[in-house]
Amino acid sequence: MHVLTYDPGLFILRFGPTIIRGYMDGDMILITRDERKRFKKKVGGQGEVSRSRVRNDATSCKIRLKHTSVTLRDLYLASKLGIKQTLSLVEIGGGALFYDAAEAWIEEEPDPTIAEEEGVMEFLFGTGPADFGQLPITL
């Protein structure tokens, strides 16, 4: 599994027209691409093994918001209505596009018991094919 982390203080995450705000302090935006789904293995009758590449460019994105975030209403509404939107990540200041999914939806809403106890609202977005513009450099 390939996980990229982005600091919400340096990037803007946008779900359709909604700019997501109100992240938990110190939390990161997590974008995941499951590499295990990129190849399909086939074993023949004589034990020979072949594999073929699967064009699976789908990703998921996890965010944790404060229970006071102004974005919650829009996200809950989109989830209840099953709305699909674009999901994009843009660098603040530079404007470089780091991540772009033409089709995204909310796969998981926050667990109400955890949200009430900890004040954390965790959303998981699922996406169709996604493009990574500029990958961050890690030293």
pTM recorded for the entire structure: 0.79
Q: Please tell me the total number of residues recorded for the chain in this structure.
A: 139
What pLDDT, on the 0 to 100 scale, is given for residue 18?
94
What would the DSSP string read from start to end of the chain? -EEEEE-TTTEEEEETTEEP--BPTT--EEEEE-GGGGEEEEE-TTS-EEEEE----EEEEEEEEETT-TTHHHHHHHHHHT--EEEEEEETTT--EEEEEEEEEEEEPPPHHHHHHH-EEEEEEEEEEEE--SPPP--
What pLDDT, on the 0 to 100 scale, is given for residue 137?
42
What pLDDT, on the 0 to 100 scale, is given for residue 37?
62
What pLDDT, on the 0 to 100 scale, is given for residue 123?
94
Between CA 20 and CA 73 the distance in angstroms is: 11
Q: What is the mean pLDDT, run by run of 10 residues, along the chain of 139 residues?
A: 84 95 92 73 86 79 92 92 94 88 92 78 91 57
pLDDT tens-place string over residues 22-53: 998 889 999 998 665 667 788 888 888 888 87
Between CA 112 and CA 42 the distance in angstroms is: 42
What pLDDT, on the 0 to 100 scale, is given for residue 38?
67
Token pair recorded at residue 83: 């709305």
Q: Hey, CA dihedral for 55, 109, 8, 70, is it positive or negative?
A: positive
Between CA 78 and CA 95 the distance in angstroms is: 26
